[in-house]
Amino acid sequence: MSTLLRNTLIFAGAATLGAGLVQAQETPDLSEPPAIEGDKVGDHGSHNFRLGIGLAESSPQYLSSEYFAEILEERSDGRLTVDIFPNSQIGDDVQMMEMLQTGTLDMTYPSTSPATSYVEELAVFDLPFLFPTREAAVEVMQSDVAQEMLDAFDGSGIKALAFSENGYRQLSNSARPVESPEDVAGMDVGGLTIRTMENPVHLSIWETLGANPTPMAFGELFSAMEQGVVDGQENPWSTILTSNFYEVQDYGTETRHVYTPFILMMSESTWDGLHEEYQALVQEAARQSAEYEIQLATEYDDWSRKQLEERGMEITRLDDDQIAAFQEAVQPVYEEWAPEIGEDLIEEIQAIVEETTSD
Ligand code: TK8
């Protein structure tokens, strides 16, 4: 049975059980995944991996995970299979990383931000306005210094396989249009309550902007917005669309304030139980599916913003001066966090950015 069919049955089964899954959305005209190449690996036994992710079946994260599964299945003659569990069904990023450590889950795909508790250098990706272009962000994610961050997970119970794109984060809220930091702070009506990922730099960004930041697991976010526990949140347009946030958020602002990567991860106990030929295949499939995910995320980004506007969200696109006002307002975050994260690391990353953008 193909991965696609199996995962469809799983989704259909869960949906009939009323698991409250987000209904699949139609998608933009997406590139097909690259043809699966490479030799088949030898017979070293069969393994079924359970992969828990936070986003919906229509997200680039899920679609690229299906491609990851197809590569494994094809090149192992069906001996390596992957069951994908979307919509934070199994847990949120923090919980699923802990489940990798205890060996109760084989794989997960968190954002880098909640993973800074394992590898603190990842917090460099949380610095606001670090990447002026997607190309610069991708260059950094595929650099040696990024590979060193993946390697730094070794021994934590987590094997970090590859970076991909969660994407440029955009502000949404249900209270008012936001065009400036002053609109976030709400000079006379009080700052917006903004859900943030469980990450101290993100807390600092929104405190510095005069908001009331509330760290919260992604899986709790929709109901928190629906009940008015928080006014808003920040995520890429594709997440705001595929997780149906537009149903409870009236306003969007194209802040692009942080570019967040994902990390595809495997439990070290699962990894250590694989023959080295299987390990090499898992690593290669992770890299190939991560590259495809970046392609999908790119194709989803602008299309999602337009879909959100069609669904009634009032989206403010900021001009250069308005972006500059946000960049200036969050400058204290660099002063506060650069010593923690490491000036040398930041300079190394900024040098790669410089190289990429000066071409
Ligand atoms: C999904 C999360 C999500 C992230 C967040 O598991 O928590 O807001 O941006 O994509 O990783």
Atom of ligand 1 nearest to the CA of 109: 6
Say which CATH topology domain 170-257+311-358 has.
D-Maltodextrin-Binding Protein; domain 2 (3.40.190)
Q: How far is the CA of 275 from the centre of ligand 1 (A)?
A: 32
Q: How far is the CA of 111 from the centre of ligand 1 (A)?
A: 6
Q: How far is the CA of 262 from the centre of ligand 1 (A)?
A: 9
User: Are β-strands 107-108 and 47-52 bridged in parallel, bridged antiparallel, or unpaired?
Assistant: parallel
Ligand 1 surroundings by CB, under 6 angstroms: 54-55, 93, 110-111, 166, 197, 218, 235, 239, 260
Does the pLDDT at position 208 exceed 80?
yes
Q: Where are the beta strands (DSSP E) in the chain?
A: 47-52, 80-85, 107-108, 158-168, 170-173, 193-196, 212-215, 232-235, 251-254, 259-267, 314-317
pTM of the model: 0.92
Distance CA 343, CA 333 (A): 13
Who has greater pLDDT, 13 or 190?
Answer: 190
Does the pLDDT at position 89 exceed 90?
yes
Name the residue with the closest Cα to ligand 1, atom 11: 111
Mean pLDDT of the chain: 93
Q: Where in the chain is the domain with CATH 3.40.190.170?
A: 46-165+262-302, 170-257+311-358
Atom of ligand 1 nearest to the CA of 262: 11
Distance CA 194, CA 171 (A): 9
Does the pLDDT at position 1 exceed 80?
no
Q: If DSSP codes are grouped into helix, strand and coil, which group holds residue 235?
A: strand
pLDDT, tens digit, 9 for 90 and up, residues 19-53: 445 554 567 889 999 999 999 999 999 999 999 99
Atom of ligand 1 nearest to the CA of 92: 6
How would residue 133 be classed by pLDDT, with cut points 50, 70 and 90?
Answer: very high
Cβ neighbourhood burial of 340 (10 Å; 0-12, 13-18, 19+): exposed
User: What CATH homologous superfamily does 46-165+262-302 map to?
Assistant: Bacterial extracellular solute-binding protein, family 7 (3.40.190.170)
